[in-house]
Amino acid sequence: MSEIAITVGGVYKSFQGASHPALDGVSLDILKNEFFTLLGPSGCGKTTLLRMIAGFESPDQGSIELDGIAMGRTPPNLRPVNTVFQSYALFPHMTVAQNIAFALDMLGRPRVAIRSRVAEVVHLLRLDGLDERRPAQLSGGQQQRVALGRALAPEPKVLLLDEPLSALDLKLRKEMQVELKRLQAATGITFVFVTHDQEEALGMSDRIAVMRDGQIMQVGRPGDIYERPANLFVAEFVGEANFLPALCVERIDRAGRFQLTCCAAASAILTLDDANGILPGGNAILVVRPERVTLAPPAGALLRGEVPEAIYSGSDLMLHARLTDATPLRVRLSGAADLARFDATGVGFDIEGAALRAFPA
């Protein structure tokens, strides 16, 4: 039996008046029992793709299969999926239990089976004791759980989530991220989650597809996306990064040695396991995450500069530094690092290990 829940094959979709296709030849496999996230900026096509899987939009070209069955123009109500939107759209005159039971009523399930399933979902969502309340009597997080319960009650094979946490405040959003991951693991249902929030995607997903202008830039596990971005767009969009100009001075098989050209730092040499096809003499951009940069005494440091601004956020201290040739450099230090022992106008910087990735300039 196939382990693939959703197959998207060469899907193309264009809307009248748009400057570029909403989806431009997208192909993708999403596995069963997977928390899969579509991540990208506004207008990249992630919600359009979600709507295609749900059946609310039809592709101009290409195909979509659910559990190995071609959907063609199968209407949404005949697909084994449910969708949770940004707006919870709960029925205000119904109780929690009635909202959760609604889809089961529409499917004509027996009353006894409905009561049993509603009780099971209420307990799963930790809404015990709230089943007779109406939506107006619930907090935002509780309303969100009811919307999830209504979608989960019919036990769909796939649950589609279109930025469902965007209306919540930061604390509730963090709590619901944990809840969603717990629910996916508990139910075994394939979750397809749409967001533009990189932290949400990295923290919740089994795999991520990063999208841009209707195309998929990279698919991979969160650690692969963050540590081994496929291109400069992914490196910039997912997390924070420094982009340092460099020159490839040597290649040994796939590895390469790169000389940083910022600050005229002739001795600033970094070795990378993957030179990404850049030949000796070729210009490059090295991607370095802020946490890979450390403070060092100026004498003998890889790079030198100044720190005009430091932002303390509790667990981290982010330095917005400026190298001697005005190249910006962000440095993330754990905790409240003591800057007093460094001269803020003449700070040295070292990069721990190799730079993250090299890309042709």
pLDDT in tens, 245-277: 999 999 988 999 998 888 765 568 888 989 999
List, for residues 3-43, the tens digit of each pLDDT value: 999 999 999 999 988 788 999 999 999 999 999 999 999 99
Q: What angle do CA 210, 288, 226 make, to 5 degrees?
A: 30
Q: H or E element: which one contains 349? A: strand 347-351
Q: What is the mean pLDDT of residues 82-90?
A: 85
Question: Alpha helix locations (H) across 43-190?
Answer: 46-54, 96-106, 111-124, 140-152, 170-187
pLDDT reported for residue 226:
95
Distance CA 217, CA 250 (A): 29
pLDDT tier, 195 (very low <50, low <70, confident <90, very high otherwise): very high
Q: What is the mean pLDDT of residues 152-181?
A: 86
Indicate the range of 113-117, 226-230, 296-300 predicted with least confidence: 296-300
Q: What is the mean pLDDT of residues 148-156?
A: 89
Q: What is the mean pLDDT of residues 68-76?
A: 91
68 burial level (CB within 10 Å; 0-12, 13-18, 19+): exposed
Percent of the chain clearing pLDDT 90 (strictly above): 53
Distance CA 286, CA 258 (A): 9
324 vs 29 pLDDT, higher one: 29
Q: What angle do CA 311, 316, 317 make, to 5 degrees?
A: 35
pLDDT tier, 209 (very low <50, low <70, confident <90, very high otherwise): very high
pLDDT reported for residue 29:
97
Q: Which domains does the chain have, with CATH numbers?
A: 4-236 (3.40.50.300), 241-360 (2.40.50.140)
Q: H or E element: which one contains 220? A: strand 215-220
pLDDT reported for residue 1:
43
Strand partners for 180? none
CB count in 10 Å sphere of residue 43: 17
pTM: 0.89
Sorted by sequence, the CB contacts under 8 Å of residue 313 that are 6+ apart come out as: none
The mean pLDDT of the chain is 89
Sorted by sequence, the CB contacts under 8 Å of residue 37 that are 6+ apart come out as: 192, 193, 194, 195, 200, 201, 204, 205, 207, 208, 209
Strand partners for 29? 7
Residue 144 pLDDT > 80, yes or no?
Answer: yes
Alpha-carbon Rg for the chain, nearest whole angstrom, is 25
Which single residue is written with the structure tokens 């963090």?
A: 174
220 vs 259 pLDDT, higher one: 220
pLDDT reported for residue 107:
85
Residue 339 pLDDT > 70, yes or no?
Answer: no
pLDDT reported for residue 71:
94
**SS3 state of residue 357:** strand
